[in-house]
Amino acid sequence: MNLSKTIGIIMDGNRRFAKQKGLATKEGHEAGARKLKEVLEWIKPTSIENVICYAFSTENWKRSEEEVQGLMNLVAKILADKELLSGGYALSVIGEKEKLPMTVRTAISFAENITKHFDKKLFIALSYGGRAELVRACNNLVEKGKTSITEEDIQNELYTKDIPDPDLIIRTGGRHSLSNFLVWQSAYAELYVTDTLWPDLTKEELLGLFERFSVATRKMGA
């Protein structure tokens, strides 16, 4: 298959999954975390080199204190997961990390250091917003004394500056929206939306989405 070097995934539907199954919201998020590990295994044999997953947005801080605390605890647990840390991906967290609890920041540092030798890259967007990323980039350039800003200048200040922009973004859960994810980087990306909730995503459906993208890409290049 002719696949993108970089893909983005908006992992939507954990709470609806929990509600449908009669589970607590926390259990829905835990199911979503397990699904992430599965999806990474499915992607590993493909030519995709970089995976960017939208895990927690800047807007998500507005959720209940109980849910946010549960999510932060889950994130710290995921970042210490032996399967994830030995799974073949160099881990990086992008977003406003200074807003994250110290326990999570400590877990991030450990995970990033112990996985840095792997070739494939996994970027987890935490406390992330595409607009906030652009504001950060512009502020960095102003601090450097820039009075005239080019696209290349902005590109070089993004969290993802060292990898190609995604050609494909997959969103589960049915919403046809980027929800402030990779606002700059997704300018030319194909958006593939499935009604399937994130924890319900199957290998067959994911590979089917890849095949659809590959066929469409070949046709455009013909």
- List CB contacts of 188: < 8 A, sequence separation 6 or more: 165, 167
Q: What b/e sequence results for 121-160 when a residue is b if at least 16 CB atoms lie within 10 Å of its CB, and e otherwise?
A: bbbbbbbbbbebbeebbeeebeeeeeeeeeeeebeebbbb
- Residue 89 has a CB neighbour count (10 Å cut-off) of 20
Enzyme catalytic residues? 12, 60
Write out the H or E segment, with its range, that includes residue 131. Answer: helix 130-143
Write out the H or E segment, with its range, that includes residue 72. Answer: helix 65-79
- What type of residue sits at position 34? R
Q: At what angle do helices 102-115 and 65-79 cross, to 10 degrees?
A: 20
- List CB contacts of 17: < 8 A, sequence separation 6 or more: 23, 28, 31, 32, 197, 198, 199, 200
